[in-house]
Amino acid sequence: MENEVLEVLKEIRDGVRATNGRLDETNARLDGVEKRLGGVEERVEKGFAHVEKRLDGVDERFDSVGRSLNNISARVDVANMRLEQLEGKVEGVKARLLLVEGNLRGVEEGVTGGFKRVTESIAELRADVKATLDDHEVRITKLEKRSA
């Protein structure tokens, strides 16, 4: 039975040696994979650092754009307020223009009526002057006949 035990122990020893050999091969392959992973990790870290740097730049740009948009928004608000003020002034000017136009119509009507009255007065004056001249002529003719 000792031989059988010895035989089993030899088989176990051979199995352990074979397993150890496979483990050594696996460890060697794992070391190679580990080295490659180290290189990949380094590249990934560099890539992440580059991406982080780019993201920081993008963040700064977004912040700048945000500030610019806020500035533009404030300027638009100011422009809108000014526009509203100008619209109010334009409405005031329109109202004053309508008032001036109304006054101008009144003045035009007054001037037209005044010219009409002046024209009528001149016509009456002419008629009076003509009547007076005719009367003077008649008197002068009478005086000339008396004197002659």
Mean pLDDT (whole number) for 55-77: 95
Residue given tokens 């006949």 in the structure block? 145
Cite the DSSP H helix spans in the chain. Answer: 2-147
For residue 108, give Cα distances in angstroms to 31, 92, 98, 114.
110, 24, 15, 9
Q: Cα separation of 83 and 91, whole Å? A: 12
Confidence band for 78, pLDDT divided at 50, 70 and 90 = very high
Residue range 74-98: average pLDDT? 96
In the prediction, which pLDDT does 2 show?
80
- Quote the mean pLDDT of the chain: 92
Per-residue model confidence (pLDDT) at position 121: 92
Mean pLDDT value of segment 11-36 = 91
Cα distances from 93 to residues 70, 97, 103, in angstroms, run 34, 6, 15
In the predicted structure, residue 102 carries a pLDDT above the cut 80: yes
Q: How far apart are CA 140 and CA 134, in angstroms?
A: 10
Reported as a pLDDT band with limits 50, 70 and 90, residue 4 is: confident
> Model confidence at 49, in pLDDT bands (50, 70, 90)?
very high
Q: What is the pTM for the complete model shown? A: 0.45
